[in-house]
Chains A and B, each alone.
Chain A
C-alpha cells in the first residue's frame, strides 16, 4: 500500500482564484482529515470526514470546504484565495469511527503558493 496519497504535490495560484486539493486514503480507511501547516507552525485542523459526512470543522472561514466521495477519497476546496492561504495542506486518514481517536496516517502534503 502506498499510504495516503495527495495531488498535486505543488501548486501556484494567484489571489482570488480557487483551488481543489485531492486525497486518497489508505485502503480500508473511512475517515479523512485535512490540516493546514503554515511555515514554522504545527499543522492546524481544518475538517474531518467520516463515511462522507462532516464530523469536525476547525476555525477556518467558509471559503474552505471539503467533501468525501463513496470511495472515501476527499477533496478540499478553497475559494477566493488570499496570500495567507499559502501553506502545506496535509491529508490524514484513519480506520474508523471518529469518536475513538484513531491513529492518523498522514500524506506527503500539497504545497500551495498564492501570489
Chain B
C-alpha cells in the first residue's frame, strides 16, 4: 500500500524568504507524484506533477527516488502563495486513484 507523508501541518515564512514544503512517500513501484493547492475559498487544483518537470508560479519539485521525496520549493515566497498544499501519489497502473498527504498550510507573512 502507498502512503504520503507531509510532516508539517503549518509552515510560516516571511515574504521573500525561501519555501520548502516537505513530502515523503512510501511505494514500491514507479509512482507519479503531484502537488495540489487549495487557495482560500477555492477548489483543489493541480499545481504541478513531476512528469511535466515544469515550474508553476515559481514552484518546482524534484522527485528523489533514493530518498522517496518530492519536496516543493520556491526561492522567494509571495503573499499570494498562502494556501493549503497537498502532495499526492498515483501508483503504477493506478489510473486516477490519488493518495493524498494530510496537507501543509503555508502562511506567508509580510
Contacts and interface: CB of A to CB of B under 8 A. Distances in A.
A10 to B, nearest CB: 15
B97 A106 contact: no
A45 B95 contact: no
A21 B105 CA distance: 28
B102 A92 contact: no
A31 B97 CA distance: 11
Given A99-B93, A101-B32, A101-B90, A45 B98 contact: yes
Contacts, number: 62
A90 B45 CA distance: 12
What size tier do the contact residues of chain A reach?
Answer: 20 to 34
A94 interface: yes
A101 B46 contact: no
Contact of A43 (B32, B44, B93, B96): B44
